[in-house]
Amino acid sequence: MKDLPPVTDPRVIIGTSTADDAAVYKLDDRTALVQTVDFFTPVVDDPYLFGSVVAANSLSDIYAMGARPIFALNVVAFPVNDLPLEVLSRILKGGSDKAHEAGIHIVGGHSIEDKEPKYGLVVNGLVAPDKVVSNAGARPGDALLLTKPIGSGIISTALKGGHAGEEAASRAIAVMTELNKAASEAMLECGVNACTDVTGFGLAGHLYEMMQASGVKVLVRFGDVPLIEGALELARKGIVPGGTRRNLDYLNDSVDWQGGVSEVDKLIFCDAQTSGGLLISLPRERAQKLLQGINDKGGLQAAIVGEVAESDGKAKPITVIK
Ligand code: CO
Ligand code: CO
pLDDT value at position 300? 81
Average per-residue pLDDT in the chain? 96
Residue 50 in this model has a pLDDT that exceeds 90: yes
Alpha carbons 228 and 226: distance in angstroms, whole number = 7
List, for residues 192-204, the tens digit of each pLDDT value. Answer: 999 999 999 999 9
Structural contact between residues 95 and 51, judged by C-beta atoms closer than 8 angstroms: yes
Return the C-alpha torsion angle 202, 207, 210, 211, nearest 10: -150
List, for residues 203-219, the tens digit of each pLDDT value. Answer: 999 999 999 999 999 99
198 C-alpha to center of ligand 2: Å?
A: 9
57 C-alpha to center of ligand 2: Å?
A: 8
38 C-alpha to center of ligand 2: Å?
A: 5
Residue percentage of the chain with pLDDT more than 70: 100
41 C-alpha to center of ligand 2: Å?
A: 14
What's the chain's length in residues?
322
259 C-alpha to center of ligand 2: Å?
A: 33
Average pLDDT over residues 286-292: 96
Which ligand lies nearest the alpha carbon of 40? 2
Which ligand lies nearest the alpha carbon of 123? 2
142-321 under CATH 3.40.50.300, yes or no: no
235 C-alpha to center of ligand 2: Å?
A: 25
pLDDT value at position 65? 97
195 C-alpha to center of ligand 1: Å?
A: 10
pLDDT value at position 264? 97
pLDDT value at position 299? 80
List, for residues 10-36, the tens digit of each pLDDT value. Answer: 999 988 777 789 999 999 999 999 999
* DSSP code, position 150: B
The identity of residue 221, as a single letter, is: R
82 C-alpha to center of ligand 1: Å?
A: 32
85-95 burial: b if 16+ Cβ within 10 Å, else e = eebbebbbebb
Domain ranges of the chain: 12-131, 142-321
pLDDT value at position 3? 87
The dihedral built from the CA positions of residue 31, 127, 283 and 257, taken in this order, carries a sign that is negative
Which ligand lies nearest the alpha carbon of 63? 1
Q: Of the candidates 269, 261, 237, which has an alpha carbon nearest to the alpha carbon of residue 153?
A: 269
Structural contact between residues 162 and 239, judged by C-beta atoms closer than 8 angstroms: no
pLDDT value at position 173? 96
pLDDT value at position 297? 87
pLDDT value at position 19? 75
The matching CATH number, chosen from 3.30.1330.10, 3.40.50.300, 3.20.20.70, 3.10.350.10, for 12-131 is 3.30.1330.10
Structural contact between residues 206 and 196, judged by C-beta atoms closer than 8 angstroms: yes
DSSP 3-state of 9: coil
Which ligand lies nearest the alpha carbon of 277? 1
37 C-alpha to center of ligand 2: Å?
A: 6
Average pLDDT over residues 111-131: 97
pLDDT value at position 238? 96
pTM, two decimal places: 0.96
pLDDT value at position 188? 96
pLDDT value at position 267? 98
Question: Which spans in the chain are helix H?
Answer: 47-64, 85-101, 152-160, 166-177, 181-190, 202-214, 231-236, 242-251, 263-269, 284-296
Which ligand lies nearest the alpha carbon of 38? 2
pLDDT value at position 125? 98
CA distance readout (Å), 6 to 1, 32, 49, 162, 169: 9, 20, 39, 46, 43
DSSP 3-state of 255: strand
Residue percentage of the chain with pLDDT more than 90: 90
